[in-house]
Structure 1
Amino acid sequence: MIDQNPAGSTFCFSKGLHRITRPIRPTEGSTLASDQGAVLSGSVTLNTWQREGQYWVVRGALPAAYKLKGKCEDERTNPCQRGEQVFVDGKHLTRVMSLAALKGGTFYGDYTANAVYVADDPGGHQVEMARTETAIEKSAAKVTVRGLTVEHFASRPQGGAVQVGTDWTVEANDVRWNHAVGIMVIEGDRAVVRRNTVADNGQLGIGQFRSAEGRIVENLITRNNTDGFWIADWESGGIKATRSSGEVSGNDIVANRGIGMWSDIAEYDRRISANRIRDNAADGIRYEISYNGVIEGNVVESNGFGTGRGSGPSLWDGGGINVNTSADVKVVGNLVRANRNGISIQSRTRGEGPRGRYVLRDVLVEGNQVVMDGATASTGVVENKDSPAPESVQFRRNSYRIGDRAAERFAYKGAPMTWQQWQAAGFDQDSRSS
């Protein structure tokens, strides 16, 4: 119905549940909205359960097996890539790799036999399975999506339940419990994503790809990566933007199982400001192989304590704010408190980008308050063996709370340093510590 109406139409969804069996494709300038609590669901109900030994099984609900992508935190026991998640009375079950691993609170999907198994008796419960991949596709420009709840879509890794295009506005929605990305801006210049709650999605809260001048503002992004994607280094957690530009400001980015805010690969003219970023499992903010960024006025607290696979406590593993092999970056006026590490500046060998070789150059760290109370927390500059020598990395007018000034809370070129040694190396000459 929606794609058969003229451009500029407004579609008001009534209160209640709307099961979406194929993606909505809005026309140019149209509005999809609800002020009555409409829920768009990508799930189907599973009703035809049969007892089979100690388990219950329903057949014929799964799609044909498809190619998998994405990296999981635990690739031996947690199959994070498949999108058909199961919910019992709204509660998300954990997928297991085999029938033998099935237990209470889990499910097993056998795609060869087209069978879904659970261990708990489904009788008297509503059992749903995410089935439709996408709720709303970016089929046209200048679309508004407002006031909807979007849940239970079987989005593929790096794919969004809500896809956002050029000049879209996505505001005041509740996007939750979708398999991969909640809201994904794809080649959507000047898109605005604001005042949404984006929670409990399987991989990532909000993504942005090849999109200039975007605004991601005043959202709550929390508890994302429920399906076990790699926490430290594979696009999981709060927000990830790639080959894009624009503003990420005024958001609460809280308790995601991954990086809070990640700019990665050829970002340019990126501003990350006035966000409250706390309790994320990996870095609070990571600015990686990108250019011309400003990280200003954020409160970054208690991040980096949940990484597992391939990670440790050193500056190589990041911290509150991590600038990795990027150029022309300002880290200014942030409160960085009680993270795994404080501010980590990294120079790695990362190859060529659209603006030349990726190098660490012209990084200014100024006017930040850095509190490092943890036993191993530090701030500093690290570089690997073959990376170009960093050019013009400056720390100035910062304030540190480190407790013991004789403790080695800083690092440069692989050497841990005390406050006095750090200053003697040329950093933070006009800064103070306590």
Structure 2
Amino acid sequence: MNKRRLIPLGSFLFLSLIRPIVAAPSGGPYGPLQLEYAIPAGARTVYFLAPDGDSDAKGATLEKPTTLESAITRVVTGDAIILRGGVYRTGDLVFNQGITIQPYQDEQPVLKGTRIATGWEALSGGLWRTKWDTLFPLPPAPWWRLHRHIHDTPLYLFNNDMVFIDGRLLKTKGYPAELDENSYCIDYENGYVYVRTDPTDRLVEITAYDNAFTRTTDPVHGRQSDKKGFTMRGIILTQYAYRALEIEGYTPEQVSLESAHGKDVVGTVIEHCTMSYCSRVGAYLRGDNLVVRHCLVSDTGTEGLFILSSNDVLLEKNLITRNNEEGIQGYYATAVKIWNQCYRVTCNDNLVIDINNSSGIWYDVGNVDGVFTNNWIQNTTDGFFFEISKGVICTGNVFVNCVRGTRVLNSSNAKVYQNTYVNSGAAFERTPRSAVGDHFDWHPASGPDVDERHGHEFGNNLIVVHKD
């Protein structure tokens, strides 16, 4: 850890010696661990893959591996995909079966959503350009207004392309004249990418795929969805133009019963994976009994993880950092968004740190009976944000250098006990917002009404102001 992390951690350890602690962050390890994976016992069919695999091979042995693109079209419920180590430049892969995806033994497969850019043309003024045929322009979000946002959120920030030089992500700009060695721009009309760094003998990567995997609910590859979640372990998913991973499912735009959503894909487990350098979100995840454990989610344009309309979810021992890196103004980003009538989502013992001008973990719109325990949240605006929702236990957490360690807004029955606040506040707020006359009327309707926003308890918390 750097010095900024060590100072409050040391303060917390000192305080723990003079005050009994009922619950607290474990101290890690957080994020992926290097493990050795056995072939799943009882797997129906095992497919062995390699970056240089043969798409026509069956993939039945290590000696004759197939490709990921080929295997994903063949797998059915109970099958296992085993990836040898190395870089797989691939994406936009779709499946609808309850399968397992994992490394071979202790090798490290890396899925990248970029291709290597070649064919650069030198221009005057130190500029270079190359023709590129997989571009990801995007119109502005509906909330964007010219008079209000043009200066702090120029239109090019909505595009989803990314350019990396020797692994370093460049910043996007609007015109070639604005470029320096740390930035790029794109001429979408003519299909050119511009940089002001000599690409000779450099590794230049440009986005070529929207996402790595979509677990669809639609028929695909001649099969109906089995409604079973998949298991993914030990995989790095990085450099994708929108998100690394998405699980589809019903997302209500009305007040919804718990029994009506979260049932399309049930029981997904994602462990020891990395989702990084996505232009927007690391992963959009749906489905009951979802588990995300020991994952790294970092360097995303807006959110890290989005949990939507799902019940009995567990997020545990994840490391989530450097989200909202695009810095779009007028949009409220967060490292983790738990959104739209999720029941019993537990966030336990996660490290959420260094989040750019946004919240840490945000339960928003109609969530019920959340559990928020033993997390370490540092350098965010609202560390734990509970909005338009009913019932949460928040205990054993440490909040460091957050504008508000905990914030409860237009909600009911938040029980906040045994937490430590270092240079961080706590807020309980209520506004007149209701379903009457609200643009998103079902949003406030899914939570407690104005006269029901009570029942909060705040006790046995330690609040410290550090002199530095």
TM-score range, shorter chain: 0.7 to 0.9
Pairing 1:87–2:164 present: yes
Q: Residue 463 of structure 2 aligns with which residue?
A: 370
Question: What is the CA distance between 1:78 and its match in structure 2?
Answer: 7.6
Pairing 1:185–2:285 present: yes
Once the two structures are superposed, the pairs formed by residues 351-370 of structure 1 within 5 Å of their partners are: 351-352=434-435, 353-358=445-450, 360-370=453-463
Pairing 1:44–2:115 present: yes
Structure with the larger helix share: 2
Question: Is the CA contact (8 Å cut-off) linking 1:65 and 1:112 kept in structure 2?
Answer: no
Unaligned runs of 5+ in 2: 1-70, 217-226, 248-264, 436-444
Question: Is the CA contact (8 Å cut-off) linking 1:200 and 1:222 kept in structure 2?
Answer: yes
- What is the identity, as a one-letter code, of the residue corresponding to 2:129? V
Match of 2:455, SS state, is strand
CA RMSD of aligned residues (A): 2.2
Aligned match of 2:81 in 11, 14, 17?
11
Unaligned runs of 5+ in 1: 305-318, 376-434
Alignment coverage as a number of residue pairs: 350
Aligned match of 1:29 in 87, 98, 118?
98
Pairing 1:215–2:329 present: no
Structure with the larger strand share: 1
Aligned match of 1:123 in 173, 196, 200?
200
Pairing 1:264–2:364 present: yes
Once the two structures are superposed, the pairs formed by residues 56-205 of structure 1 within 5 Å of their partners are: 56-63=128-135, 65-69=137-141, 75-77=152-154, 79-139=156-216, 140-155=227-242, 160-164=243-247, 165-186=265-286, 188-205=287-304
Higher relative contact order (CA 8 A, sep 6+): 2
Question: Is the CA contact (8 Å cut-off) linking 1:272 and 1:295 kept in structure 2?
Answer: yes
Match of 1:329, SS state, is strand
Q: Residue 286 of structure 1 aligns with which residue?
A: 385
Match of 1:137, SS state, is strand
Relative distance call for 1:252 and 1:75 in structure 2 (3 A) is same
Q: Give the ranges of 4+ consecutive aligned residues of structure 1 lying more than 6 Å apart after TM superposition.
A: 70-74
Match of 2:456, SS state, is strand
Relative distance call for 1:229 and 1:65 in structure 2 (3 A) is closer
Separation in structure 2 between the aligned mates of residue 240 and residue 269 of structure 1, nearest angstrom: 16
Separation in structure 2 between the aligned mates of residue 274 and residue 86 of structure 1, nearest angstrom: 37
Question: Is the CA contact (8 Å cut-off) linking 1:73 and 1:228 kept in structure 2?
Answer: no
TM-score (norm 1): 0.76
- What is the identity, as a one-letter code, of the residue corresponding to 1:4? R
Give percent identity, aligned residues only.
Answer: 23
Q: Residue 343 of structure 1 aligns with which residue?
A: 426
Question: What is the CA distance between 1:264 and its match in structure 2?
Answer: 1.1
Question: Is the CA contact (8 Å cut-off) linking 1:78 and 1:96 kept in structure 2?
Answer: no
Question: Is the CA contact (8 Å cut-off) linking 1:62 and 1:111 kept in structure 2?
Answer: no
Relative distance call for 1:20 and 1:85 in structure 2 (3 A) is same
Q: Deviations over 1:159-205 (max 9, x none)?
A: x311244310000011111111112213x111100011111122222
TM-score (norm 2): 0.71
Question: Is the CA contact (8 Å cut-off) linking 1:130 and 1:154 kept in structure 2?
Answer: yes
